[in-house]
């Protein structure tokens, strides 16, 4: 039997604020402020009771908050409890990893979690309604997005209402869809994907292809642009706005690159009859703090985002995705497992000390990831 999996994707709808009257805007602002106050109060409680559990937060605070905010739709208190629990949980995780110096988290964003009782979406009519105080609803007109038509056939999930620093308002809606995925067995044909700074390499034992993404170059350019803004613009507000604008622009450029790469890989997988896409399991890196090679790469901005995009697109197109342990995939021989050294012909080539194999280092990573997949399939069979 084919495994069935539910995939999720967030659609970001920009709200047309020219269509919203003053009273509605101030009502929405009021909602943001109240929700944020509640979330921070819940975080405070979570912190003083050292709990990350939604249920205990809800149990301790729900009735009190209901009484203090009688006209606020009660589901906002539910979602605020979930939201606070999740913020406090990620705070404790960061703390554990030693990368957070703050004593306790403070929720500073303008973001509201909405469950299905708090919003209605009319995707055909490009409208959404949000529940506000006193059982009333505010209807918002949504602007058409580039990729939004595909959501029509998907199941509606929860949403987030987000107010950006520049004053724009977004409704981010999660959609779900059940997909049938092929079995990941030892007889599956696969394509392994290796992500580097400016190039993504993919293939298997039969072929290797390289795609120039120039991601590192794009990022360096935006980094320099932001540094110029930092040093030249005096006004704090303007500086923050400009930095935000370029950050957004950079991410949109890179996201477009990622989507194009994902499309090409999926096209190639179909053409080659591959049913499983293999990527590096980046979680493994976390535990391996001594490895310089691996550590530089986890911080790589966007790597996980690329993986998420490729995974989602692959599953949507009926391909399965497997993450394998990437340790030593660039330093060991894919044929005999021997140690590799610099090849004779420049930096790209690597040579095996033991069996003499000489191969491009990109091809080596792809072949090792492929090998590891089949190795894990074998391990799973032998108890």
Binding mask 304-343 for Zn ion (x = CB under 5 A): -----------------------------x-xx-x-----
Smallest gap from Cβ 99 to Zn ion, in A, equals 38
Smallest gap from Cβ 204 to Zn ion, in A, equals 18
- Complex with Zn ion: residue 130 or 352, whichever CB lies closer: 352
Q: Where are the beta strands (DSSP E) in 133-198?
A: 136-141, 155-163, 169-180, 190-195
Find the part of the chain contacting Zn ion (CB under 5 A) among 49-57, 188-196, 290-298, 353-361: 353-361
- Complex with Zn ion: residue 27 or 339, whichever CB lies closer: 339
Question: Does 352 interact with Zn ion (rule: CB under 5 A)?
Answer: yes
- Complex with Zn ion: residue 130 or 364, whichever CB lies closer: 364
Query: For Zn ion, which residue of 178, 217, 355, 378 counts as binding (CB under 5 A)?
Result: 355
Query: For Zn ion, which residue of 39, 65, 310, 357 counts as binding (CB under 5 A)?
Result: 357
Smallest gap from Cβ 189 to Zn ion, in A, equals 24
Smallest gap from Cβ 335 to Zn ion, in A, equals 5
- Complex with Zn ion: residue 267 or 337, whichever CB lies closer: 337
Smallest gap from Cβ 330 to Zn ion, in A, equals 14
Q: How many residues bind Zn ion (CB under 5 A)?
A: 8
Smallest gap from Cβ 353 to Zn ion, in A, equals 8
- Complex with Zn ion: residue 55 or 336, whichever CB lies closer: 336
Smallest gap from Cβ 365 to Zn ion, in A, equals 15
- Complex with Zn ion: residue 17 or 335, whichever CB lies closer: 335
- Complex with Zn ion: residue 5 or 358, whichever CB lies closer: 358
3-state SS of the chain? CCCEEEEEEEEEEEECHHHCCHHHHHHHHHHHHHHHHHHHHHHHHHHHCCCCCHHHHHHHHHHHHHHHCCCCCCHHHHHHHHHHHHHHHHHHHHHHHCCCCCCCCCCCCCEEEECCCCEEEECCCCEEEEEEHHHEEEEEEECCCCCHHHHHHCEEEEEEEEECCCCCEEEEEEEEEEEECCCCCCCCCEEEEEECCCEEEEECCCCEEEEECCHHHHHHHHHHHHHHHHHHCCCHHHHHHHHHHHHHHHHHHHHHHHHHHHHHHHHHHHHHCCCEEEEECCHHHHHCCCCHHHHHHHCCCCHHHHHHHHHHHHHHCCCEEEEECCCCCCCECCCCCCEEEECCCCCCEEEECCCCCEEEHHHHHHHHHHHHHHHHHHHHHCC
- Complex with Zn ion: residue 280 or 359, whichever CB lies closer: 359
Smallest gap from Cβ 350 to Zn ion, in A, equals 10
Chain residues binding Zn ion by CB under 5 A are 333, 335-336, 338, 352, 354-355, 357
């Amino acid at each position: 039997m084919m495994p069935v999996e539910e995939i999720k994707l967030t659609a970001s709808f920009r709200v047309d604020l020219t269509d919203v009257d003053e009273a509605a805007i101030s009502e929405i602002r009021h909602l943001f402020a109240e929700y944020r106050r509640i979330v921070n109060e819940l975080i405070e409680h979570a912190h003083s009771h050292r709990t990350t559990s939604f249920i205990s937060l809800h149990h301790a605070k729900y009735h009190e908050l209901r009484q203090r905010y009688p006209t606020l739709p009660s589901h906002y208190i539910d979602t605020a409890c979930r939201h606070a629990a999740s913020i406090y949980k990620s705070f404790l995780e960061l703390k554990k990893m030693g990368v957070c110096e703050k004593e306790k988290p403070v929720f500073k964003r303008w973001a509201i979690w909405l469950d299905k009782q708090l919003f209605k979406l009319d995707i055909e009519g490009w409208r959404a309604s949000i529940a506000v105080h006193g059982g009333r609803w505010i209807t918002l007109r949504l602007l058409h997005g580039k990729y939004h038509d595909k959501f029509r056939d998907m199941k509606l999930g929860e949403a987030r209402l987000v107010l950006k620093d520049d004053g724009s308002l977004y409704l981010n809606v999660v959609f779900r869809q059940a997909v049938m995925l092929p079995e990941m067995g030892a007889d599956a044909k696969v394509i392994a994907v290796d992500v580097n700074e400016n190039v993504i390499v993919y293939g298997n034992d039969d072929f290797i292809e390289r795609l120039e993404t120039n991601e590192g170059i794009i990022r360096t350019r935006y980094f320099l642009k932001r540094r110029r803004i930092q040093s030249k613009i005096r006004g704090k507000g303007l500086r923050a706005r400009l930095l935000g604008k370029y950050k957004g622009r950079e991410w949109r450029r890179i996201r477009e690159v990622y989507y194009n790469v994902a499309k090409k890989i999926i096209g190639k997988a179909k053409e080659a009859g591959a049913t499983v896409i293999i990527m590096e399991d980046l979680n493994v890196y976390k535990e391996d703090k001594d490895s310089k090679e691996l550590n530089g790469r986890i911080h790589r901005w966007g790597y996980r985002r690329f993986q998420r995009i490729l995974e989602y697109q692959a599953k949507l197109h009926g391909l399965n995705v497997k993450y394998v342990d990437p340790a030593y995939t660039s330093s060991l021989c894919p044929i005999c497992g021997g140690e590799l050294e610099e090849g004779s012909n420049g930096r790209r080539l690597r040579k095996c000390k033991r069996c003499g194999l000489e191969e491009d280092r990109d091809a080596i990573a792809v072949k090792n990831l492929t090998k590891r997949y089949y190795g894990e399939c074998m391990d799973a069979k032998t108890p």
